[in-house]
Amino acid sequence: MTSGPAPKKADASAATVGDVAARAGVSRATVSYTFTQPNRVSPDLRRRVLAAADELGYVGNDAARRLRVGHSLALGLLVSNMSNPVYAELAAGAEAEAAAHGRFILVANSDESPARERAYLNFFESQQVSGILAAPVGDVPAELLGLRERGTPFVLVGVAPGPHSYPAISGDNERGGHLAASHLLAQGRRRLIFIGGAHPHVDLRLAGVKRAVEESPEPPALEIIRTQVQTAKVGEAVARTLLRRRAAGFPDGIVAGNDLLALGLLHGLIVGGVRVPEDLSLVGYDDIEFADFAIVPLTTIRHPSATLGASAVRILLGLESEQDVEGRFEPELVVRATSLPVAGDRA
């Protein structure tokens, strides 16, 4: 009696952690631990997971393959400016998710220096980190792409420039800018200013502001002021220049590129005698912790920094969800006291 042909394995590129988990009747975390920390999984569960993976032809993503062969339990997090609370929140989200899976995060702050960024990437490689979460100074550095070619995967936390083969996740900055400007327009503000630095995320926020202005039945005036950096000190300095203007050239609505800039503007305007929000409505971006504790609590766009950090870790560990793979996270308008209330706005 001859036996029939052996059943073909499923396409490895199509099998996912979720598929293996469903076939084995275990959680996604158990699948991850089987390949990355097998000592945390009972022999029986390991056998079930490995059998399911073999049936499906699952080999995992680049990160899972590296972890499977015994590299470091550490993941590297590269940020461009740790003094910005956004990156502290990103790190907190990454650390919490990594800890849930027995991982550790090494945080590197390039302090806006490309040279320091390159040095940290070399350090990460010397430490054999299993993957890197990268929020670089500018575009993706060549050194990071080189690391990926040599087997260390990374997730870009930001907007990828042009076509790319690596995973990238970000908030929907264009949508956030549109929310901010639409909120001001709904209050009847007609002399708007966008103030922000030169950064891909900020450029997208500005694009959203412009779209809201163009969609307005009676397009208001929109002025753009670019800054070198986005700090509270710079915001205060910009406020002083605005205060020297005549009434006809003074704005009645401002969208700031981030909350630090907005808080500096708020301080400078109030000291100068401007009533916020009676004379001028102000909207920041990021919803950092300090935004709610300003002398006039700041209306802002909530950027999901901690969520992005957690998502990047899940992608590196091969535990990504459908939303993680999609790579785009929705912003939210948070209305506080620096803008006039509008019916229908979410507080």
End-to-end Cα spacing for the chain: 74
pTM of this structure:
0.78
pLDDT, residue 34, reads 79
Give the separation between CA 314 and CA 309, rounded to whole angstroms: 9
**pLDDT at position 37:** 67
- Give me the pLDDT at residue 9, please: 44
- Give the burial string for 163-189 (b: 16+ CB within 10 Å, else e): eeeebbbbbbbbbbbbbbbbbbbbbeb
CA distance 46 to 2: 33
What residues contact residue 245 under an 8 Å CB cut-off, 6+ apart? none
- Give the pLDDT means over successive 10-residue stretches in the chain (347 positions): 42 70 91 74 86 78 47 90 94 96 94 94 92 92 93 93 91 97 97 94 97 94 96 97 95 98 98 97 96 97 95 93 87 97 64
Backbone angles phi, psi at 77, to 5 degrees: -120, 115
Q: How far apart are CA 139 and CA 159, in angstroms?
A: 9
Q: Residues 6 or more apart from 103 whose CB is under 8 A from it? A: 73, 74, 75, 130, 313, 317
| 228 HSE (CA, 13 A, CB side) | 4
222: which residues sit within 8 A by CB, 6+ positions away? Answer: 192, 193, 194, 209, 210, 213
Q: How far is CA 34 from CA 30, 259, 271, in A?
A: 6, 43, 60
